Structure 1
Amino acid sequence: MEAVDSNPEALGVHMANAINKFNILYLHVIEPRMIEVNGKLETPHSLLPMRKAFQGTLIASGGYGREDGNKAVADNYTDLVSFGRLFLANPDLPRRFELDAPLNKYNRSTFYISDPVLGYTDYPFLETST
Structure 2
Amino acid sequence: MSTDTTASVSTHILDTSAGRPAGGVAVHLRARSGSAAHWQALGGSATDADGRCKDLPALPAGTTHVRLDFAVEPYFAHIAEKQADAQQDAPANRDSGAVFFPEVTVTFAVHPGEHYHVPLLLNPFGYSVYRGS
Question: TM-score, normalized by length of structure 2?
Answer: 0.22
Q: Using CA pairs under 8 Å that are at least 6 residues apart, name the structure with larger relative contact order, 1 or 2.
A: 2
Question: TM-score, normalized by length of structure 1?
Answer: 0.22
Q: Which has the higher helix share?
A: 1
Q: Which has the higher strand share?
A: 2
